[in-house]
Each structure stands twice: as structure tokens, then as C-alpha cells.
Structure 1
Amino acid sequence: MTWKDAIKDYQYFLKIERGLSHNSISAYRRDILKLMNFLEEQHVAISPVEIGTDLIERFVYTSSKTIAPRSQARMISGLRNFFDYLIFEDYRKENPTDLLETPKIGRKLPDTLSENEINQIISQIDLSKPQGERNRAMMETLYSCGLRVTEMIELKISDLFFDEGFIRVIGKGNKQRFVPINSYMIKLIETYKDHVRAMIKVQKGYEDTLFLNRRGKQLSRNMVFMVLRDLTSKAGIDKTVSPHTLRHSFATHLLENGADLRAIQQMLGHESITTTEIYMHLDKSHLKMVVEKFHPRK
């Protein structure tokens, strides 16, 4: 089995069997390609079925000189999943990454914005331009519903259940969840949909896509990043802000205002409550308030 054949089969497995998104599959593929390129540079001709721990250790050691520990840990995890797949398909008996030591990394707390900073960013949107209404609806959707950027750009008109007060979101692993949406957000989306989107010549295949670019196609992730980066700069906010920052801010503000952690988990689409618990570390004053309010020995 060649590396190219193994990568091709693995991508198919990730898409069909695990239902991963295109971006997740691309990330897994990059990890394997880095190993494959390393072997070529070292003039080592060995298949993914035959490669052992020693070669992978050399690859990881070489990579550690140029990438951060967190990226290194993610890369090792990606390779481990790949070799687990080869074992699952009976191509190998053991996983050569099992003995690799993953670098110790602390839990990274997500960056957040204050409510005032979010208002500052959104206030920079020029509503005199057609894309202004779209951009306001997009940014408010990211923040008010806590969506990932991919979930937002792939949102369909058929996913809007405004009468019930929910939107349907297709998250990681093609998992479906329903997220509450308030009347203010409904008004923003309907204004964009009925008065701006209705004027765009929609390209074939994108008739049900909610947020469109000026050519009538689905927006790219990069476009959303660029729009938000421009708004943040105009607002004079000296922080590295991404669409994910709005998602983190959504969860943090809910928690600070007394929302239940399980409810936040469901709205974010986290498979494990452990992932959501990271927000408990953001605001120690909130934790202090909870103890003072609810503990019987206050």
C-alpha cells in the first residue's frame, strides 16, 4: 500500500464512516502529508504499513523545532488516528505512535470580547451598503447563536424555524442540533433575506443557502474572517478576533448571566461536557457569586 492510496482511502473513511467536514478531513490529510514529505526528504522508501516508531519519532522531533507544542500534540493525535484506521482495516497489527510522548500543554482559555466590544464591532458595519445588512445578520448570528463559522456559512433557509423560535444547525460529524433564536435576530435575518438576498441572482445549487456573496454563491470562511477583522480594526479593538471569538463570547456571557452549563453544551454542540467546562475557568468572580448565592453555609 502506497502513502497516496492510504491517504485516499482514509479520506473516504473519514467522510463516509465518520461524517467529518471537509475542513476536518483536510487537517487530518495535512498531518499525513507532512510525514510523507519528511520521508521523501530523508530518501526513506517505506510504506505506511511498514513504518515503525523510530522513523515517526525522528519526524516529530524535527517538526518540534518549527511548530508549537499545541500544534505538535494535534499532529501526533492526527497520525495516531490514521494508524488506528490502518489497524481497523487489518493493514497493520500495531500503532507506531502509541509509544510517542505527547508534549504537555496547558489548557488554553479562549479569547473573549466584552458585550461593549461586540457592540463596538457591530456598530462599524455600513448599513448603507447592501452587504451591510448581510454582515450585521452574520455577525449577530455568530454571537447570538454561538455558531462555528462553517455552521453559519452553511446555514440554509430551510433550517430557519422562526415560528418555533429555533434554527437547525448541522455541526461536526454531520450532527444536527436546534439552537434558540430571539425575536431581534429573527428580524435581522428576515430583513436581509427579504430585502437584500432577494435582489441577488442566486447561482444554481445555492437556492437554499442563506448567506450569499454578491455573485450569488455561498460565502467562504476567509471572507467572514476578513469582514470581522476589518470591523475589529475600525472599532479600534487591539485583540486578535476571529469568528470563533464570537462563539466563545456567546458561551462566556451566558455563563456569567447564570445559564446552566448543560444548556450551553447543547447550544454549542459539544459532545462532551468537559469541552464546555473550559468556560468555568474564565470568570472566577462568577464562580464566587454562585457559591455565595446557592451554598447553604453562606
Structure 2
Amino acid sequence: MANWAKFLSDYKSYLKIERGLSANSIASYAFDIQRLVTYLDENDIDISPVTIGDESLQQFIYHVSGELNPRTRARIISGLKSFFNYLIFEDYRKTNPMELIEVPKTGRKLPDTLSLNEIDTMIGAIDLSLPDGRGERDRAMLETLYSCGLRVSELVTLKISDLFFEEGFIKITGKGSKQRFVPVGKSTKKYIGLYVGAMRNKLDIKKGHEDTLFLNVHGRGLTRAMIFTIIKRLAVAIGLNKTISPHTFRHSFATHLLENGADLRSIQLMLGHESITTTEIYMHLDRKFLNKVLNTYHPRK
């Protein structure tokens, strides 16, 4: 249809090669553009990415507004703006037809944070009596997720060769294949060691997963969905009345560091945020903490 497929394919290559985005990010961009293509196709609108105007795009945004929340609409608008900016960059267009389309206000929703006691209770609810060693694995995973502030995608791709325990660090490959070194504590090292001895060393590890740290009982890597499921089940088991996900542990990691006096720049480096602006979201959590900082460090307290 009007050559959208070719432009989309070229755009995906640009996102991968020029911007270094992950496969998940590229898929998200492509999905939103494909949503527009489907709309044009269903309404017999035969128009190319080079000639489409703001009127057709406004109609599309109006069409999806009834079925999507403001946050999702904002993401679609942002993704389409990026696509048309790419076409301008490649000299296919002179203007961006999305420029006059307003992004809906979504507000900034902060994720729930777990207290240290809630994290300990959740990890304490893990069944360590399972003969296949899954309990030791789950404990080691949650300890690593929280103690190192990892994204779930970073957890499931963590390799044994990324563990530099003697130096006290683990190497993390984050968004856009960017690498960082994160400190690892004694308890996390201990629980990873127990997991390796109780489960991993006894598995029939499948080809291609020899270096993957966390494995399922069949000797293959875990999926992000499996980590979600493990955490949700533990939350139910302890009667936790919060909306949580693997990201909750990462958010709690940053929040607890901040509340205990860590500086924002150090937290940014450990989280792997490209911009400190992203890290500043954690500054909105505890007003009492900010008052304490002011009263402790300001010369006119």
C-alpha cells in the first residue's frame, strides 16, 4: 500500500544502526506506524508517507482516541513525529505533518515503591524446599533485580561471563546495547552462588544458553513474562496490596539509595539512564527527605 512497507523497513534499519535502539524499542515504533497503515487501508485511503498530510493524520488520531488511553495516544503521536522527522532527515519530505497535532496531557505517574520490609517478606515467601532448585533461583533473581537495580530485560540476559565478583561488579548490557558496571553486594553474590550449586549445575543446559545465568528447569533462558509471573505470585502469597512488576524492584532500588543519602549522579550511573532528567523522577517521591537534605546541607538552614 503506497510503499509504506519499504519506508517502514528503512526506518527500522535506521533505528537499529543509527540510533542503536533495542529490538523491543524498534518493534514498538513499528507497531504504532503499522496501526496507522492499517487504518488507511481499512478506510481505502491510498496515500504515501511522503504525501500524507495533517488532516489524514488528525483523523487517524481521532479514530484511535476512543479506544486508547491518553498515555498510549501520546506515545503514538511521539512515534509518528519521529518517523516523519526521519523522512525529513532523508530528504523525502520538507515538513512534519505531526507538528500541529497536540499531545494529550498524561501527567507523570510514579510507580509503586516497595519498602525494605516488603521486599524481605516477598523474598522470604519463596519456597526453598522445591527439589528442582527453583526457589534458590527465584531468590537469587529477586536479590539481583533489587540490589543491582536492573531492568527485567537486563536480568534475563545476564551472563555468567558478566559476573566480576572478585572486583565486586557485574557488567550489564542495557538499552541500545550500552554497557555499564554495577556494584554487587555480598548477599547477592552468596545467593547467586547457592542457586548455581543447587540448580544450575544440575541442569541439562541447551545449546546457546551455556553462558546465560538464570535458566528454567529445561536449561533454557527465562522470558520477561516468567519473571512477571513469579513476582505476581509472590505478591499474592504475602497479601501485598500494590500494583507491582519487575520494574518496582528497580524503582525501589533507586528510591532507597536516594533516601539513604546517595547522590543523583551515582544513581543515574547505576541505573544506566542516559540523561539525569530521567533519574530526577525519583526526586518527586519523598518531600520529607528533601526537607532533610535542605536542613542538613544548606548554609542558611
Q: TM-score, normalised by structure 1?
A: 0.97
Distance 2:11 2:223 in 1: 25
SS, match of residue 83 in structure 1: helix
Distance 1:297 1:119 in 2: 39
- Asked if 1:2 is matched to 2:3, the reply is yes
The superposition leaves residues 170-214 of structure 1 with CA deviations (integer Å, 9 ceiling, x where unpaired) of 111111111000111111112212331111111111111111111
Distance 2:63 2:93 in 1: 25
Distance 1:270 1:214 in 2: 33
Partner of residue 37, structure 1 = 38
Structure 1 stretch displaced more, 107-116 or 126-135: 107-116
Uncovered stretches (5+) of structure 1, i.e. residues with no partner: none
Distance 1:85 1:107 in 2: 27
> Conserved in 1, the CA contact under 8 Å of 2:140 and 2:188?
yes
Identity %: 59
> Conserved in 1, the CA contact under 8 Å of 2:70 and 2:104?
yes
Amino acid corresponding to residue 42 of structure 1 in structure 2: N
**Residue 87 of structure 1: how far off its partner (Å):** 2.0
**Residue 297 of structure 1: how far off its partner (Å):** 2.2
Correspondent of 1:254 among 257, 260, 265? 257
Amino acid corresponding to residue 224 of structure 1 in structure 2: I
Correspondent of 1:282 among 266, 281, 285? 285
The superposition leaves residues 220-270 of structure 1 with CA deviations (integer Å, 9 ceiling, x where unpaired) of 010000010001110100111100011101000111111111100000011
Partner of residue 271, structure 1 = 274
Distance 1:116 1:55 in 2: 53
Partner of residue 115, structure 1 = 116
Amino acid corresponding to residue 42 of structure 2 in structure 1: E
The superposition leaves residues 35-79 of structure 1 with CA deviations (integer Å, 9 ceiling, x where unpaired) of 011111211111212211111111111111111111111111111
- Asked if 1:223 is matched to 2:226, the reply is yes
Uncovered stretches (5+) of structure 2, i.e. residues with no partner: none
Distance 2:258 2:190 in 1: 25
Distance 2:3 2:122 in 1: 50
Partner of residue 69, structure 1 = 70
Amino acid corresponding to residue 228 of structure 1 in structure 2: I
Amino acid corresponding to residue 297 of structure 1 in structure 2: R
- Asked if 1:133 is matched to 2:136, the reply is yes
After TM superposition, what 4+ stretches of structure 1 lie above 3 angstroms from structure 2?
none
> Conserved in 1, the CA contact under 8 Å of 2:136 and 2:198?
no
- Asked if 1:232 is matched to 2:229, the reply is no
**Residue 4 of structure 1: how far off its partner (Å):** 1.6
Q: Map of 1:206-217 to 2, 5 A cutoff?
A: 206-217=209-220
Distance 1:131 1:165 in 2: 25
Amino acid corresponding to residue 232 of structure 2 in structure 1: R
The superposition leaves residues 118-177 of structure 1 with CA deviations (integer Å, 9 ceiling, x where unpaired) of 111111111112111111111111111010000110111111010110000011111111
> Conserved in 1, the CA contact under 8 Å of 2:113 and 2:251?
yes
Partner of residue 47, structure 1 = 48
Q: Map of 1:156-195 to 2, 5 A cutoff?
A: 156-195=159-198
Structure 1 stretch displaced more, 127-136 or 86-95: 86-95
Distance 1:87 1:209 in 2: 41
SS, match of residue 278 in structure 1: helix
Amino acid corresponding to residue 37 of structure 1 in structure 2: T
SS, match of residue 171 in structure 2: strand
**Residue 88 of structure 1: how far off its partner (Å):** 2.1
**Residue 292 of structure 1: how far off its partner (Å):** 1.4
Distance 1:281 1:192 in 2: 37
Partner of residue 241, structure 1 = 244
Partner of residue 208, structure 2 = 205
> Conserved in 1, the CA contact under 8 Å of 2:160 and 2:213?
yes
> Conserved in 1, the CA contact under 8 Å of 2:203 and 2:219?
yes
Partner of residue 23, structure 2 = 22
